[in-house]
Structure 1
Amino acid sequence: MDAQPVVVGVDGGPDSLKALAWAAEYASSVGAPLIALAAVETPAVVGPYAMAGWVDPSILEERARIMLSDSVRDTLGDDARVDQTVLRGHPAEAIVAASRDARLVVVGSRGWGGFRGLLMGSVSQHVVAHSRSPVVVLPRQAEDA
C-alpha cells in the first residue's frame, strides 16, 4: 500500500490494548494500513555467571509474536487486517524508527513496567519527544477497569 500506515505500540498491557483498538478505528476511518509493533529488548548479560540467566533472543521474539497475535485477535477479532511486526531493540526506539514512515503513532500512556502514579511511562514520553510523525497517547486505564 502507498498510504502511510498508522503504527501502534503493543506490549499486551491494558493501555496498549486500548491504543490498539483506537488505532484500528482511526486507521479504518482514514483508509490507512495498520501496523501493530512489539519490540523485544535482549538483556545485556555480562560476567562469569552470565550464561545462567541467558535467554535465547529467538525465544523472546517468539513470545512477543504470540503476545502480539493474541492481543490483535482478542482486541480486534480474527478478521482484523493488521501488519504484526516484532523488532529487536528498545520499544521506544523501535516505535520512533517506525514513525519515520508513519501517518500517526499511537501508544498507551503506560506499559507493563509502569510505576504507580506516573502520568506517562518512559516509552510514551520518549516517543512523544522523538517521533517523526504525530503521536496520540491514550489515557491510562482506571485502576478498577
Structure 2
Amino acid sequence: MTNEAGNGRIVVGVDGSEPSKRALEWAIRQARVTGGSVEAITSWQLPTAYGWVPPADVDWEGDAAKELTEAVRAVAGDEPSVPIRSTVVEGNPAEVLVNASRDAELLVVGNRGHGGFAGLLLGSVSQQCVHHAHCPVVVIHGDAPEHGGA
C-alpha cells in the first residue's frame, strides 16, 4: 500500500482504552510485515464548561504523555520490534488524527475510546476518521477475538 508520502508510517490513535491498545497491537504487526514504522498519537484538551475554570495544578499534557507511554509499553514492551514514535498533541482527537493522516500510509483506530455510548458500533473519533482521513483507515474492535499476524 503506497500513498503520496510513501514512507511506511502507520498512525495509530491511542487513548489507553482496550480498543486503542488493540489498534496499537495491530499497527505494530502491520508495520512488522510491511517494514514500516508506527506513530502512536494521543491528544488532550482542556475540559470546557461555561463558568468553569480548570485547576492550575493539573498537568494535562503530562498526564496524556504518561497514559500514552504506559499504553505503548504495555503493548510493545521495552524493546519494540518496529520503530515507534509517541506523539502528544493538544486538540480534538479526531482532528489530530485526521491531520496526522495527511502523510501516513495508514491510520489505525479502535472502534471505541473512553466515554460515549457503549452500544454504538463506532465511536465519534473513529467515525470522523473513517469519513475524513487522507489515507486508508483500519478500525479495530476491542472485543474482537485475537487473530494471528497482520
Verify same fold: TM over 0.5. yes
Which of 3, 26, 33 does residue 29 from structure 1 map onto?
A: 33
Report the Cα offset of residue 56 of structure 1. 4.5
Answer whether contact 1:4 1:101 (CA < 8 A) is retained: no
CA drift of 1:42 comes to 1.6
Q: Deviations along 1:81-117, whole A, 9 cap, x unmatched?
A: 3100000001000000000000000000000113121
Which residue number in structure 1 is paired with residue 147 of structure 2?
none
**Superposition map of 1:11-30 within 5 A:** 11-30=15-34
Higher normalized helix content (fraction of residues): 1
In structure 2, the residue matched to 1:3 is 7
Structure 2, unaligned runs of 5 or more: 1-5, 145-150
Runs of 4+ in 1 over 4 A off after TM superposition: none
Relative to structure 2, which stretch is displaced further, 100-109 or 73-82?
Answer: 73-82
The 5 A counterparts of 1:1-145 are: 3-47=7-51, 50-51=52-53, 54-56=54-56, 59-80=59-80, 81-141=83-143
Q: Give the Cα separation in 2 of the matches to 1:21 and 1:116.
A: 22
C-alpha distance after superposition, 1:44-80 (max 9, x if no partner): 3443xx33xx145971110111111110111111012
The amino acid of 1:23's aligned partner reads A
RMSD over aligned Cα, in angstroms? 1.7
In structure 1, give the amino acid aligned to 2:142.
Answer: R
Quick one: distance in 2 between partners of 1:40 and 1:116? Answer: 21
**CA 1:60–1:134 in 2, change beyond 3 Å: closer, same or farther?**
same
Relative distance call for 1:93 and 1:75 in structure 2 (3 A) is: same
Q: Unpaired segments of 5 or more residues in structure 1?
A: none
Instruction: Give, as a single letter, the amino acid of the residue that structure 1 aligns with 2:123.
Output: G
Q: Distance in 1 between matches of 2:128 and 2:57?
A: 24
Percent identical: 43
Q: Following the alignment from structure 1 to structure 2, what is the Cα–Cα distance between the partners of residues 19 and 140?
A: 8
